[in-house]
Structure 1
Amino acid sequence: MTSEERRIQPRKRPRQVRAELTRQRILTAAAHIFAEYGYAAGTTNRIAERARISIGSLYQYYPNKDAVLAELLTRHLDGDRATETLRRYKRSPEPLETIVREFVRTVIDNHLDDPRLLQIMLEQAPRSGELLERVTRLEWEMIGDLRELLDGHPEVRVQDKDTAARLVASTVELTVHQLIAAPGSIDVTRLENELVAMIAGYLRA
């Protein structure tokens, strides 16, 4: 483990219910503080105050705010249900557009909790080697599931399915990340409809 990875590692992994609840309070408070004040002004003192604990108690769990933000990013990755959606529809007789819509909607839903926090995580969250490896693994799992779906669905006409799977995964993930995390609002229903039309049309061409 590198010095950077050690620096953002949580100090304490709760084993008791009370300790786990304290950790969750810290993470919830941090999410609100970062979204409200931004990362630079989202100090550990503010996080501790919002969580209604002492700053010393916070430091028992996390050595600094980078470690808190890294944990929030990990929790965000844990909440991603896109691959589950794809696996559910691998051998489904549902129309291609229905499957694509469910996939797109799942990716959008995974980013709606707090767009401001998402922007901070994307731009400022520290990336340890372990975290980057996990992100890469999740990306390739999604691509693999998309590849199997494209192989088995009769409506798919695109010839290069390997490249198509990578294009679909990247297009949906990056578009949703950028448009929902960016300042200013976007109509998520219109975003969903346009993405579905674009992806389904490409796969049937």
Structure 2
Amino acid sequence: MVEKVGDQRRRPQQERSRDTRERILTAATQLFAEHGVGNVSTNRIAAHAGMSIGSLYRYFADKDAILETLRLRLVGELEEQFTAAVLAGMALAPAESFARSLHGIADTLARRRELVRALSPHATLEALGLGDLERRLLILTRGYLLNLLGPLPDAELEVKAYVMVSVGVASSLRIGLEAPSHLDRDAVIAEIARMVAGWLEP
């Protein structure tokens, strides 16, 4: 297939646009983490990114738009990791499956620690505005439990899913963002996974 001249011109421009957008998001993340969201203006973000405020406004309408983009990016990464872990875990023993889920979320949070702290000084799902993510995690967990345990009464299924997601998310937040330096991270995850797997046994 012959590539048109217009397509050849458009590609570098699209790449530059992506690069500029990433510069803005990186600068915002760094400033939010260092100074708090309330103490950072779009002017300051533009200066930190090495561009004019007019250039920044071509990509984001205001600071809230930048924050929402960062939040959605974090949600997407967390959901992708959790979904992959749940699907892979369908054929695994419960302890290994839960450990994979914990690793997936904790590793993402550790990688994005600066972003999480920028979005909220209080690392909870509600403070981070991740309520929708929690609901989707519950749906995935219900599917996993039905696959593992077979049909369950609705009330029992809801309770088990809620407990698993609550324990998993709370543990992942703690391990990913502020795990005690004197403890072996993998050993902690394995112990939590064994505890949950033992609770799931009939």
Could you tell which deviates more after superposition, 41-50 or 26-35? 41-50
Which residue number corresponds to residue 172 of structure 2? 176
1:64-101 deviations in whole A, cap 9, x for unaligned?
Answer: 222211110011111122022212322x1x22111111
Q: Which has the higher helix share?
A: 2
User: Are the structure 2 counterparts of residues 36 and 195 from structure 1 closer, same or farther at C-alpha, using a change threshold of 3 Å?
Assistant: same
Structure 2 residue matching 1:62: 3-state secondary structure: coil
| Aligned position for 1:88 | 88
Q: Would you identify which runs of 4 or more consecutive aligned residues in structure 1 move more than 4 Å?
A: 178-187
Distance 1:150 1:183 in 2: 28
Instruction: Give the AA of the match of 2:119.
Output: M
CA contact (8 A) 1:35 1:114 kept: no
SS at match of 2:38: coil
Change (3 A) 1:181 1:89: closer
Retained in 1: the 8 A contact 2:103–2:172?
Answer: no
CA RMSD of aligned residues (A): 3.3
Unaligned runs of 5+ in 1: 1-14, 125-130
- Partner residue, 1:150: 145
Once the 2 structures are TM-superposed, how far is the Cα of residue 110 of structure 1 from its aligned partner?
A: 1.7
- Determine if the alignment matches structure 1 residue 167 to structure 2 residue 202: no
Matched, 1:204 2:162: no
Q: Which residue matches 2:111?
A: 113
Is the aligned partner of 1:138 residue 2:136? no
Cα separation, partners in 2 of 1:34 and 1:186, compared to 1, 3 Å: farther
Corresponding residue number in structure 2 for 1:8:
none
Which residue does 1:44 correspond to in 2?
42
Report the CA distance between 1:144 and its aligned residue. Answer: 2.3
SS at match of 2:138: helix
Shift in Å, 1:191: 4.1
Between structure 1 and structure 2, the one with the greater Rg is: 2
What runs of 5+ residues in structure 2 fail to find an aligned partner?
A: 1-12, 123-127
Distance 1:66 1:56, change over 3 A: same
Q: Which amino acid letter does the alignment assign opposite residue 159 of structure 2? A: T
How does 1:66-105 map onto structure 2 within 5 Å? 66-80=64-78, 81-90=81-90, 92=91, 94-105=92-103
TM-score, length basis structure 1: 0.72
Amino acid at match of 1:172: G
Amino acid at match of 1:153: L
Distance in 1 between the 2:179 and 2:58 partners? 34
On the 8 A contact 2:138/2:161 being kept in 1, the answer is yes
| Residue 189 (str. 1) matches residue 186 (str. 2) | yes
Q: 1:10 maps to what in 2?
A: none
Distance in 2, Cα, partners of 1:64 & 1:184: 37
Alpha-carbon distance change, 116 to 164 in structure 1, aligned in 2, over 3 angstroms: same
Distance 1:112 1:186, change over 3 A: farther
State TM-score, norm by structure 2.
0.73
Distance 2:37 2:23 in 1: 18
Contact 2:107 2:176 in 1 (8 A): no
Query: What count of residue pairs does the alignment treat as equivalent?
Result: 180
